[in-house]
Amino acid sequence: MIQSSLGWFNRTCHRIAGSWSWAVALLLTSYVAQSSTNVYLTGVPDYQWHVGCFGTASGNLMGFWDRHGFPDFYTGPTAKGVAPLDSFFDNWGIRSLWASQAGVDGRPTDRPGHVDDYFVNYASTAPDPYIVLGRPEHEPDCLGDFIGLDQNKWKNLGGECDGNIDGYSFVYWDASGERRVNFTPGPEAGLPAIDIQSGLRAWTTYRGFTAEVFTQLSDFNPDVPSGKGFTFEDLKDEIDAGYPVLMFLQVYDTKSRSLNDMERANPLIHGILAYGYSVNDDGTQFVRYRTSFAGGDSVLGVWKNTTFWAGIAPLRGVITYHPRPQIKSVVEADGRLTIQWDGPDADLYNVGTGTTSKPHWYVIEMATSLEDSDFTEITHPTTNNAVTIPSPGHGEAFFRLKMTPPPESRYE
């Protein structure tokens, strides 16, 4: 009898005008040329804003993973089922990844989705449309549904604001500056109890996988005790390990605002996706990111800039997302086993050396019991998503997949 189980290893150290984006790209080209360090993950989508910045940023994130090891993250008809790199022209249906809508991307016209049930217009504080129309909500089926985007159904979110108004979502932060790992809010603000962090994990489960997610305030956030918080070195570790990072921008001392008939609506925030970093010869630290407004490939921001993006806000904190690999099939034929899996498969480009590396490597372990001590490696490290090995023959055999450091660093 052949069975499979999963193991893993994490390498981490634990509406703005488009012309602005291009202007910034041109302005910052000189900084890149002077960089002593300049690396970034390749193949990161750059979608145009649609019904919310964190919906769009999360769409960029999950579109990246759909292209890099998790082909079932997006399975709609756009671009033949592979998340495209942009959301223009024939690719506009990819927006259903974070905001489903009746009649869009293969969805029947009589089947309401996220946009139909929750969105009126940007920053609207009006009741959600499904309430006004007196119909039940659709079952969650897109990123926006799971992260609470646009859903005006909570009170006193984390003691900060009520919401979420149209275009907005929320994160529960640990004020101590520590990492909050795989957190799910309590029911105090209302049910369902979700935020961006917990929603990303729930969406991943909906897609048939698991993920580890943590949030952490930035180290230069004035609300964070000295020596705590997410640092630039932490960002480098995440990128070097092959993981883009969601960045939550918000003015530090503004936790809510009076808007229309709502006394404590969500404050101004913005969500972007960091996928690289650069360090100048003078030590200035830059973050390469997707703006959530299809800003192009050359947009960078200074790490500790108090107006990190377009003068909107500084970096309040980050949301990291590590999807876990999963064995998909074990097939025995002609005395051999073929084990296939889905898992992170990023490409990291170093501008200085002109080389691309693979951060994610895998080995298969085998045991005759499910005791951890019984598992031993039976394959060499590989960046492939399948291996073929001799069949173990008679008796029970258990296999598990483990992420492992690249070969050159395994014995450092």
Q: Is residue 169 part of a domain?
A: yes
Q: Is residue 224 part of a domain?
A: yes
216 and 358 together in one domain: no
333 and 385 together in one domain: yes
Place of tokens 């200085």: 352
Helices within 259-382 (DSSP H only): none
319 and 330 together in one domain: no
Q: Is the pLDDT of residue 249 over 50?
A: yes
299 and 391 together in one domain: no
* Residue 110 to residue 133: CA distance in whole angstroms: 14
pLDDT of the residue at 205: 98
What kind and span of H or E run contains 37?
strand 35-41
How many domains are contained in the chain? Answer: 2
156 and 226 together in one domain: yes
Helices within 94-215 (DSSP H only): 114-118, 129-132, 143-147, 196-206
Q: Is the pLDDT of residue 320 over 60?
A: yes
Q: Which of 256, 289, 323 finishes a domain? A: 323
Q: Looking at residues 358-372, what average pLDDT do you find? A: 94
Q: Looking at residues 359-387, what average pLDDT do you find? A: 95
pLDDT of the residue at 407: 83
346 and 236 together in one domain: no
pLDDT, tens digit, 9 for 90 and up, residues 217-247:
999 999 999 999 999 999 999 999 999 999 9
* Residue 15 to residue 50: CA distance in whole angstroms: 10
Q: What are phi and psi of 269, to 5 degrees?
A: -140, 170
Q: Is residue 6 part of a domain?
A: no
Q: Looking at residues 249-260, what average pLDDT do you find? A: 95
Q: Is the pLDDT of residue 309 over 90?
A: no
pLDDT of the residue at 153: 95
pLDDT of the residue at 305: 73
**Terminal-residue alpha carbon distance, the chain:** 37
Mean per-residue pLDDT of the chain: 89
Whether 38 and 32 have beta carbons less than 8 Å apart is answered as yes
Q: Is residue 3 part of a domain?
A: no
Q: Is residue 222 part of a domain?
A: yes
170 and 105 together in one domain: yes
Q: What are phi and psi of 177, to 5 degrees?
A: 90, 0
Write the CATH number for 361.
2.60.40
Domain of residue 347 covers: 326-409
pLDDT of the residue at 307: 64
Q: Looking at residues 89-104, what average pLDDT do you find? A: 98
Whether 55 and 101 have beta carbons less than 8 Å apart is answered as no
Q: Is residue 378 part of a domain?
A: yes
pLDDT of the residue at 193: 95
Percent over 70 (pLDDT), the chain: 89
Q: Looking at residues 149-164, what average pLDDT do you find? A: 96
* Residue 133 to residue 152: CA distance in whole angstroms: 15
Q: Is the pLDDT of residue 36 over 60?
A: yes
Q: Which residues of 319-338 are buried (b: 16+ CB within 10 A; e: fewer)?
A: bbbbbbbbbbeeeeeeeebe
Q: Is residue 12 part of a domain?
A: no
Q: Which of 294, 323, 352 finishes a domain? A: 323
369 and 312 together in one domain: no
Q: Which of 300, 323, 346 finishes a domain? A: 323
DSSP letter string, 204-243: HHHTT--EEEEEEEBTT-TTSPTT-SB-HHHHHHHHHTT-
Q: Is the pLDDT of residue 395 over 60?
A: yes
Whether 393 and 346 have beta carbons less than 8 Å apart is answered as no
pLDDT, tens digit, 9 for 90 and up, residues 271-288:
999 999 999 999 999 999
Q: Is residue 78 part of a domain?
A: yes
pLDDT of the residue at 12: 25
Cα dihedral 153, 181, 65, 70 in deg (nearest 10): -100
Q: Looking at residues 385-412, what average pLDDT do you find? A: 84
**Residue 311 corresponds to which tokens in the numbers above?**
């003068």
Q: Is the pLDDT of residue 396 over 90?
A: no
pLDDT, tens digit, 9 for 90 and up, residues 39-70:
999 999 999 999 999 999 999 999 999 999 99
318 and 351 together in one domain: no
126 and 36 together in one domain: yes
pLDDT, tens digit, 9 for 90 and up, residues 190-223:
999 999 999 999 999 999 999 999 999 999 999 9
Q: Is the pLDDT of residue 106 over 80?
A: yes
- Reported pTM: 0.91
**Confidence class of residue 9 from pLDDT cuts 50, 70 and 90?**
very low
56 and 194 together in one domain: yes
